[in-house]
């Protein structure tokens, strides 16, 4: 029998369940009603152990349940992790393999790689609802209760024992490991009041359960696993391996049915002494997450995630080159030796920067009474507020964060500009600056003031047309700035800054 993936203590319970489990019938949900345990009752679903038996329902261990549901989704060609971009050929197949093989998973990755989201989406592989003994703190299976209270209740009430239906979203527990996380937080504590009543200390009735037992028959995720103290790692290992645990010197037996998922920074995880080896061995799958491989993926994530307010006061439009510049800044930061690559540069940098440049464009539109907010190159310096704090500067020297971000921005604009324009295309525009001609730009300058450059600078109209068909002054102003800055970064125009204004000149 293929049982090697089960936690030691669950083997007996799982075996029992497996023998009972033939085919799991669909449990009919009441028509037109949303399933909920609290509030509206699940009218057509069994309410007692006797009714549950009569329905032919057989609970499955969590690994078998997830595996069965995953197989059904794959067969139906349905997406398993909705909204996860860029992991189709890397992370997702590995997660599927882990679920198919019933393995605990550890995700290794730098910050902002959607680890938490992937972990939470695993809930989608659980049944819509499962039966539990009503009132049980650890979601006992009605047919094989493990807590003493339930065992006594079932012995007393038999088939009349009440059951409840636990929804999939309530079968997920998550904890951020910190050095001061305790056994009581994770596993439980002995209750001194119950002890005082004269119960045996090793009797689980004296237990106050922690988050892991409360997630029994569900998915438990522990974030930043290497921050967990070693004795807790030992406790966690014992719980998984032996289904028993020492609390304040007393042995408590807890044969839980849990899928364990964890996350960690790769360097922390592999650092010697941060994780005890036996616990490492309990993770059948170690899956490396990553940042978006392409600028296109980064932009897709930004467009999906950034906070947009559609209050109708000011409409906005974000040109593609602005999105590309924002994604490119993050991409360059991920290769920059002055930026700590150990902690990484989250996609959240791109998301927050997008929000910032759009906010600055909206602020300008409101101040100037313009109808459309279109971000410009001159809005980019404001990303300092949304970038600092999200990347760590490498080394101990007093490196100027502002200068690093400034350099990244310039390089990003240059890269994106050169994707759209050939060097020679700028000739007529640059030539016009050979005389005394200057062009002024500013993040608080009215869009209408830019439109004259189209008439005044030969070649500008053609260059703008290449980027946009729009005739709105706000969009044209943004494109004009992009072209002037591109010419400057290609060392074809000089630039000076005076009191918040930028002057492009020969
Ligand atoms: Zn119970």
pLDDT at 11: 36
Confidence at residue 44, expressed as pLDDT on a 0 to 100 scale: 80
Distance from CA of residue 466 to its chain's centroid? 37
Contact between residue 103 and residue 283 where contact means Cβ atoms under 8 Å apart: yes
pLDDT of 51 reads 95
- Ligand 1 midpoint to CA 452 (Å): 77
Torsion-angle region of 312 (φ positive above 0: left; ψ -120 to 50: alpha; else: beta): left
Q: How far is the CA of 249 from the centre of ligand 1 (A)?
A: 23
pLDDT for residue 14? 39
The pLDDT score that the predictor gives to residue 149 is 87
- Residue among 280, 217, 181, 290 at smallest CA distance from 60: 217
Centre of ligand 1 from the C-alpha of residue 140, in Å: 5
Q: Give the pLDDT of residue 500.
A: 86
On whether the CB atoms of residues 440 and 503 are closer than 8 A, the answer is: yes
Q: 337: CA distance to ligand 1 center in Å?
A: 54
CB within 8 Å of 159: residues ≥ 6 apart: 48, 49, 50, 53
Longest Cα–Cα distance of the chain, Å, equals: 99
CA distance to 349, 403, 460, per residue, from 356 (Å): 10, 18, 28
State in Å: Cα 49 to ligand 1 middle. Answer: 13
- Ligand 1 centroid to 2 CA: how many Å? 27
**pLDDT value of position 242:** 79
Question: Rounded to the nearest whole angstrom, what is the distance from the C-alpha of residue 186 to the centroid of ligand 1?
Answer: 18
Do the Cβ atoms of 92 and 80 come closer than 8 Å? Answer: yes
Interval between CA 42 and ligand 1 midpoint (Å): 21
Q: Could you give the CA distance from residue 70 to residue 201 in angstroms, rounded to a whole number?
A: 42
pLDDT number for residue 43:
63
C-alpha 20 – ligand 1 centre gap (Å): 20
Nearest to 454 by CA among 439, 434, 436: 439
State in Å: Cα 281 to ligand 1 middle: 30
**Ligand 1 (ion): which residues have CB within 5 A?**
136, 140, 147, 150
pTM of the shown model: 0.84
| Phi (first) and psi of residue 262, to 5 degrees | -140, 165
Q: How far is the CA of 204 from the centre of ligand 1 (A)?
A: 10
Q: What is the pLDDT along the chain (506 residues), one digit of tens a residue?
A: 333 333 333 333 333 333 333 333 344 443 333 333 333 345 689 999 999 999 999 999 999 999 999 999 999 999 889 889 999 999 999 999 999 999 999 999 999 999 999 999 999 999 999 999 999 999 999 999 988 889 999 999 999 999 999 999 999 999 999 989 998 899 888 766 666 665 555 455 667 889 999 999 999 999 999 999 998 999 889 888 877 777 777 777 788 999 999 999 999 998 888 899 999 999 999 999 999 999 999 999 999 999 988 777 789 999 999 999 999 999 999 999 999 998 899 999 999 999 999 999 999 999 999 999 999 999 999 999 999 889 888 876 666 888 999 999 999 999 999 999 998 899 999 999 988 899 999 999 999 999 999 999 999 999 999 999 999 999 999 999 999 999 999 999 999 999 889 999 98
CA of 171 to the centre of ligand 1 (A): 15
Question: Residue 97 Cα, ligand 1 centroid: separation in angstroms?
Answer: 32
């Amino acid at each position: 029998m293929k049982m090697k993936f089960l936690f030691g203590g669950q083997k007996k319970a799982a075996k029992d369940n497996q023998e009972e489990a033939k085919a799991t019938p669909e449990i009919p949900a009441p028509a037109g009603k949303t399933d909920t345990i609290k509030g509206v009752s699940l009218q057509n679903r069994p309410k007692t152990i006797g009714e549950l038996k009569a329905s032919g329902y057989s609970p499955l261990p969590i690994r078998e349940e997830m595996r069965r549901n995953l197989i059904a989704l794959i067969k139906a060609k349905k997406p398993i992790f909705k909204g996860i971009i860029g992991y189709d050929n890397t992370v997702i197949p590995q997660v599927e393999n882990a679920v198919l093989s019933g393995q605990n998973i550890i995700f290794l990755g730098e910050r902002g790689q959607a680890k938490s989201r992937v972990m939470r989406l695993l809930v989608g592989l659980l049944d819509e609802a499962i039966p539990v003994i009503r009132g049980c703190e650890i979601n006992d299976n009605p047919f094989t209760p493990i807590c003493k209270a339930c065992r006594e209740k079932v012995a007393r009430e038999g088939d009349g024992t009440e059951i409840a239906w636990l929804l999939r979203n309530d079968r997920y527990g998550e904890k951020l490991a910190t050095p001061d996380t305790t056994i009581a937080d994770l596993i439980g504590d002995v209750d001194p009041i119950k002890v005082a009543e004269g119960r045996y200390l090793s009797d689980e009735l004296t237990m106050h359960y922690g988050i892991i037992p409360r997630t029994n028959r569900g998915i438990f995720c522990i974030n930043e696993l290497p921050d967990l103290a070693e004795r807790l790692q030992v406790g966690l290992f014992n719980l998984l391996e032996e289904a028993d645990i020492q609390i304040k010197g007393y042995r408590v037996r807890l044969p839980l049915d849990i899928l364990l998922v964890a996350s960690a920074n790769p360097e922390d995880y592999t650092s010697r002494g941060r994780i005890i080896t036996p616990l490492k061995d309990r993770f059948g799958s170690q899956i490396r997450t990553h940042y978006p491989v392409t600028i296109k993926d980064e932009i897709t994530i930004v467009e999906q995630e950034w906070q947009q307010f559609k209050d109708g006061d000011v409409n906005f439009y974000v040109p593609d080159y602005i999105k590309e510049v924002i994604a490119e800044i993050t991409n360059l930061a991920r290769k920059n030796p002055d930026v700590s690559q150990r902690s990484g540069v989250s996609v959240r940098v791109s998301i927050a920067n997008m929000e910032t440049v759009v906010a600055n464009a909206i602020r300008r539109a409101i101040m100037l009474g313009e109808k459309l907010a279109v971000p410009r190159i001159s809005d980019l310096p404001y990303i300092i507020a949304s970038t600092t704090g999200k990347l760590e500067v490498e080394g101990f020297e007093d490196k100027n964060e502002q200068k690093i971000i400034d350099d990244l921005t310039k390089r990003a604009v240059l890269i994106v500009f050169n994707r759209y324009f050939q060097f020679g295309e700028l000739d007529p525009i640059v030539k016009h600056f050979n005389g005394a001609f200057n062009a002024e730009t500013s993040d608080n300058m009215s869009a209408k003031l830019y439109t004259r450059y189209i008439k005044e600078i030969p070649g500008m109209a053609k260059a703008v047309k290449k980027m946009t068909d729009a005739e709105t002054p706000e969009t044209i102003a943004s494109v004009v700035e992009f072209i002037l800055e591109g010419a400057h970064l290609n060392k074809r125009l000089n630039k000076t800054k005076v009191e918040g204004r930028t002057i492009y000149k020969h």
